[in-house]
């Protein structure tokens, strides 16, 4: 189910800025990059460019996901960070609220994913043609008929965390594509990029940037 695009008008929230990198807190409901058509032109990249004209894209977050997102401020930093994402040298942590309470306290999901073409941009599990996708998860606490979990993706497939949690029978609350019934009846998708760890392009030191989940 595709929903009408009504991006929030939150001001740009800067988490870290230096000569090479810029980290911002993306609000839920805002595209990372422009979509097709003028009605989808408003996006985080455009808002960042308004304040940092030289900013360069490194990665993306789903429209309905909030949290930490990094941009490069030089071509060198873009190449450096791009290789870290490609070689899985970054460490990403997410927080989500899910429908139901898992029986276990933690676990790992290893299910290959591919786009569900007739229903794109939905993704699906496919053992024949899917690309490898791995996620570790940890139960933080139960909240009535729902639970709060921390997610540690080892790969970065489209909709990976959303489909992987659905595969456990615990869709992310408010997910417009994968949640149904009462699990869909939330004001936003309850998925937040909580922390990003990476090697700084200048000198290689380890950097950790966090953003507390707003739900």
- Residue 137 to residue 149: CA distance in whole angstroms: 7
Please give the Cα distance from 97 to 82 (Å, whole number).
29
State the catalytic residue, choosing from 42, 62, 64, 175.
Answer: 62
Q: Where are the beta strands (DSSP E) in the chain?
A: 14-17, 21-26, 56-57, 66-72, 91-99, 106-110, 113-115, 123-125, 134-143, 146-153, 191-199, 206-210
DSSP H helices, the chain, are: 44-51, 75-86, 160-167
10 noted as active-site residue: no
CB contact at 8 A, 43 and 10: no
Q: Annotated catalytic sites, by residue?
A: 62
């Amino acid at each position: 189910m595709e929903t009408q695009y009504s991006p929030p008008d939150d001001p740009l929230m800067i988490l870290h800025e230096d000569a090479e990198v810029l980290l911002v807190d993306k609000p839920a409901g805002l595209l990372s990059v422009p979509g097709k058509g003028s009605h989808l032109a408003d996006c985080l990249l455009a808002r960042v460019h308004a304040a940092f004209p030289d900013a360069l894209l490194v990665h993306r977050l789903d429209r309905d996901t909030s949290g930490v997102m990094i941009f490069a401020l030089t071509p060198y930093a873009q190449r450096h960070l791009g290789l870290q994402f490609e070689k899985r040298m970054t460490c990403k942590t997410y927080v989500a609220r899910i429908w139901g309470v898992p029986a276990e306290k933690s676990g790992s999901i290893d299910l290959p994913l591919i786009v569900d073409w007739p229903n794109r941009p939905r993704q699906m599990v496919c053992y024949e043609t899917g690309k490898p996708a791995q996620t570790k998860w940890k139960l933080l606490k139960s909240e009535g008929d729902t639970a709060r979990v921390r997610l540690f993706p080892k790969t970065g497939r489209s909709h990976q965390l959303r489909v992987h949690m659905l595969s456990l029978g615990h869709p992310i609350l408010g997910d417009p594509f994968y949640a149904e019934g009462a699990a869909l009846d939330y004001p936003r998708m309850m998925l937040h990029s909580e922390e990003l760890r990476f090697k700084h392009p200048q000198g290689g030191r380890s950097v950790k940037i966090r953003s507390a989940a707003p739900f």
